[in-house]
Structure 1
């Protein structure tokens, strides 16, 4: 499974999980967190992408 599209997908998923783990501490900055505008814009785009991914996963994994 390490080779081919499934292996690449698995590697990408593991990278996403590691990235999420590194990002989580950022949310503890202030209550609520105060982010500069460029970061806010990037986070809004990330939220949209993650919502889309979540919907795709639900269609693929949920019977």
Structure 2
């Protein structure tokens, strides 16, 4: 589960960066990917008990 959260957060983070950087009509959906990536990163950081990473999110 922790590995899935880690990779989900990483992939969604890359997707949102790409969507926002392209500045197209679908760029507005990059914020949803960014939000989802943060949720995955929060779950990951709590799962590995790294509270500094949690606060950073």
TM superposition score normalised by structure 1: 0.43
Higher helix share: 2
TM superposition score normalised by structure 2: 0.46
If asked which structure has higher relative contact order (CA below 8 Å, sep 6+), I would say: 2
> Could you say which structure has the larger radius of gyration?
1
